[in-house]
Structure 1
Amino acid sequence: MASRTFTAKCYCEAVHFTITVPEAALPLGVHMCHCSVCRTTHGTFTCFHAPLPSGVRPVFVAPSSLECNVAVYTTTLATRFFCKTCGCHIGDHDREEGKIIENPGWRIVSSLFEHGSHDDGSPSQVFTLRSHALTNSAPSGFHEWLPTLGSRTLANWNPKPGDAFYPPATDHPYEPTDVEHDANGREVLRAECHCGGVSFTIARPADCQGELTSRSSELPDRWLACLDTCDDCRLVDGAHVIGWAEVALSSLSPRITADLEHGTLKRYQSSEKAVRSFCGVCGATVFFRNLITSGDNVDVATGLLRAPEGVSAHRWLHWRRGRIVYSESGKRYHADFTNSLLEGFKVWTDKTYGEAEEAAD
């Protein structure tokens, strides 16, 4: 049977592998999972997972290896893998509590493969984004920003009531919770990775001291936030897009200093001017800090936020109107995705913030 081989690498290239897929199975379907486990192990709104055909698994290219370069984190339904050095997720495979699965089915991160791998109809197409999954566990989530891909409507899949395999979203402990307050009774926003090794709260701008360049001028009770489709973030996290909330370091409790040391955080300096951190246990992307321009500010990965209003945390964050930073990088990587997201995101931000900004004026 004719087959094709495709190559993937993380940002630091410590993880380097190939997959060899029968041509008859191409393109591989990709689902974007919005469950709280994926959000809080990745730090993003969703993962981009492509189930591999039976018998197909990643083959590592020396000196890279699954045993030496990859960290393992297990959850109820899956064994997850991410780079020990830069934190990039590479995928997961099935597991069952107390059972050994001889040939577990792999789901690979499609965002690590070459440019053009996702473009519908191109000769090099390997993957096709087909659906959003478990959207009921992500109120006010990313799936609302990307209802279509080019001319295609993306399906939304959720388990049926009573499904014994997938627990109901309302029963999951990582869903948005009630409003949280600090010891002084002030409202705070919790950010926490899946394993709980990284957990802190963010205060409102009004409860912070000093000049706050990351406070929204239109909505001064909220921090600025943006979507990012740059190649660096894609290869450090393993997702087409990530959301960043820019907050003051002074707003974080417990206190986190500019060196980004806290709990199970692991640092990775991705360039001369940028340092990142991720949870060394579950792999969640947590912080990005520009060493030249950030000052007292730090970017927090928004997939970790536990806002009562939902995943977008729009009562805490002011998402810049339809803005995606480094969108040209996103268009080069997957044009239909980035163009469709630009359109859907602008519709959502216009609707969500229009009345609030008018009231503020």
Structure 2
Amino acid sequence: MARPIACLCRQVAQEVQLDPSIDETVFNLCHCNACRTATGLLFSSYYALYGSSPNLSGLREYHQPDQITRYFCGTCGTHVFAHNTSTRQYFVAAGVFSNHSPPIRSIRHWRASDTKDGGLSIFLPGDTDDSSCLLQGFSTNRERDLSLEDDAQDSQRNDGRIPARCYCGGVEFYVTAPDKTSSEATSPWADLLVPYYSGSSANPDDVKWWLCAGNTKYLAGTCACTSCRVGSGFPIQEWAFIPKSNLFNADGSPLAFGVGTMQQYESSPEVYREFCNCCGANVFWHCKERPLLIDVSVGLLRANSGARAEGLLHWHRDRVSFAEMGQQTLVQRLEAGLSGRESRE
């Protein structure tokens, strides 16, 4: 069956056919270091394609040293395809289906051990395979992933700053712990806390909802909205809500959009997304309505504690943002795991 796919800006749109020899009801999530830092998310997810190369026109390509090539839209940053040049297998990102996305009956986690804390796998019970990256199948390349892990440990600062860096290193910044400037931002309520369908998101009391644990941590959560799904190329986006005053370029200067390989896309009027135009990593979401509070893609953070960076982030477990828009089987399982009704933690 041919399935239509499209990126966020729809400059890349075509039909693809999944490999019928592979069980498409198994939802594969890869948590390896390469997938996290090349996408900016806590996991990637792909389906194997049937036949020869898909139409790659309009896509930028990034070649990893482990025989994996990733293809993303050069305008909006959506991850669309990946290719294992050794096996010649092409894959399509799981979040780009316009409709007729495959049903999910079971979940398999790949390389969750790379996260050190389990990442989001602890909230989504399933089978595990730590032999390789999903895109490499059973052909391992452990040496490259360990080098990424060592980079993360070496760059962790003793002063509490957490470095953030995409796979290629073209986007690099760091996050500081909350301080007195962290409460200077103002923002409507996030859908994560107050669902937009339930009423107004207005915050007349100016509650600093992004500060948690006695103002020592930032709020983080998951999002299943259509824009984040298609914009990243994957079904679940993880965001940390961090004041701009606590974000700094790698050289210590205040955060500036467009530094290095960072590219901006206006996904809707006065709403902006940044991504790396070299490796395709998703980086930021921000808007004119709340310019001093930035959504940071959590997969870029390189905390010694693990992928969830729980020394700095407080994960909201009561809701997946815009759950009503997402793949319902996946969202329901994730919400059950987050709430503790079905967790391996």
**Superposed displacement of residue 170, structure 1:** 7.0
- 5+ long unaligned stretches in structure 1: 61-65, 97-102, 121-127, 148-153, 353-361
**Superposed displacement of residue 171, structure 1:** 2.3
Partner of 2:156: 180
Partner of 2:63: 74
Q: Distance in 2 between matches of 1:269 and 1:286?
A: 14
TM-score scaled by length of structure 1:
0.78
**Superposed displacement of residue 142, structure 1:** 1.0
Partner of 2:235: 240
**Superposed displacement of residue 209, structure 1:** 6.2
Partner of 1:318: 314
> Secondary structure of 2:163's partner?
strand
Q: Distance in 2 between matches of 1:351 and 1:206?
A: 34
Q: Are the counterparts in 1 of residues 32 and 145 from structure 2 also a CA contact under 8 Å?
A: no
Give percent identity, aligned residues only: 26
- 5+ long unaligned stretches in structure 2: 133-137, 186-207
Partner of 1:346: 339
1:285 aligns with 2:282: yes
Q: Over residues 164-198 of structure 1, what are the superposed CA-to-partner deviations in whole Å (9 max), with x where a residue is unaligned? A: 732168723246426733xxx63201111001011
Which shows bigger deviation, 110-119 or 317-326? 110-119
1:143 aligned partner, one-letter code? S
Q: Distance in 2 between matches of 1:171 and 1:350?
A: 28
Higher strand share: 1
1:146 aligned partner, one-letter code? L
Partner of 2:204: none
Partner of 1:138: 115
- 1:214–1:202 CA distance, 2 compared to 1 (3 A): farther
Of 330, 333, 339, 1:337 maps to 330
Q: Are the counterparts in 2 of residues 38 and 46 from structure 1 also a CA contact under 8 Å?
A: yes
Q: Distance in 1 between matches of 2:11 and 2:31?
A: 27
TM-score scaled by length of structure 2:
0.82
1:118 aligns with 2:102: yes
Partner of 2:213: 218
Deviant stretches of 4+, over 6 Å: 348-352
2:47 aligned partner, one-letter code? A
Which shows bigger deviation, 167-176 or 74-83? 167-176
Query: What is the RMSD computed on CA atoms of the aligned residues?
Result: 2.8
2:330 aligned partner, one-letter code? F
**Superposed displacement of residue 95, structure 1:** 2.6
- 1:7–1:349 CA distance, 2 compared to 1 (3 A): closer
**Superposed displacement of residue 21, structure 1:** 4.8
**Superposed displacement of residue 129, structure 1:** 5.4
Q: Distance in 2 between matches of 1:228 and 1:112?
A: 15
2:113 aligned partner, one-letter code? N
- Once the two structures are superposed, the pairs formed by residues 1-361 of structure 1 within 5 Å of their partners are 4-21=1-18, 27=24, 29-53=26-50, 55-58=51-54, 60=55, 66-67=56-57, 69-77=58-66, 78-95=68-85, 104-120=88-104, 130-140=107-117, 141-147=119-125, 154-159=126-131, 165-167=140-142, 171-174=146-149, 176-177=152-153, 180-181=156-157, 186-206=159-179, 208=181, 211=184, 213=208, 215-254=210-249, 255-256=253-254, 260-292=257-289, 294-330=290-326, 334-347=327-340
Q: Distance in 2 between matches of 1:164 and 1:13?
A: 34
Aligned residue pairs, count: 312
- 1:209–1:309 CA distance, 2 compared to 1 (3 A): closer
Larger radius of gyration: 1
